[in-house]
Amino acid sequence: MCDLRAATPYLFATTGKEWLANAVLGEEVFGPLSLIVRVADAAEMRQIALSPHGQLTCTLHLDASEMALAADLMPVLERKSGRVLANGFPTGVEVCDAMVHGGSYPASTNFGATSVGTLSIRRFFRPVCHQNLPDALFPDDLRP
């Protein structure tokens, strides 16, 4: 019997030069797959951080000696994704007030919204201003 819910994990590696030459490597993949990008230096790492379009998550794997470099990358990663992780893996989301699961386009079509947590209602909310309307024209739930 074949278990169609099983997925084989994969780990690939490439160079920073190859990453920058091949935009497909920056596409988001769902499932058990990781890509290690070996960079030549901090400048190439920053260039790579600037290259992808919007992502749901960005992850830094670092130790104490790399904090200055990570601090330099943070503004870039915050603009590129809805969630930045350190020394961990984006293994899912918790439905709670603090969770954001969205990001810059194309990870989300509305960067200010999330699909989980209490802020998720914003995905379906479109405010409308009613000015000088007579009471009879207000929606029932807004009538005085």
CATH number where 30 lies: 3.40.309.10
Average pLDDT of the segment spanning 32-48 = 92
Whether residue 64 is contained in a domain is answered as yes
Tokens of 100: 């954001």
Whether residue 139 is contained in a domain is answered as no
Whether residue 4 is contained in a domain is answered as no
Contacts of 68 (CB under 8 A, 6+ apart): none
pLDDT of residue 105: 60
Domain span holding position 93: 10-127
Tell me which amino acid residue 4 is: L
Q: Is the pTM of this model over 0.75?
A: no
d(CA 116, CA 105) in angstroms, rounded, equals 17
Whether residue 76 is contained in a domain is answered as yes
Average pLDDT of the segment spanning 32-36 = 86
Total tally of structural domains belonging to the chain = 1
Whether residue 63 is contained in a domain is answered as yes
Model confidence band, residue 22 (pLDDT cutoffs 50, 70, 90): very high
Model confidence band, residue 57 (pLDDT cutoffs 50, 70, 90): confident
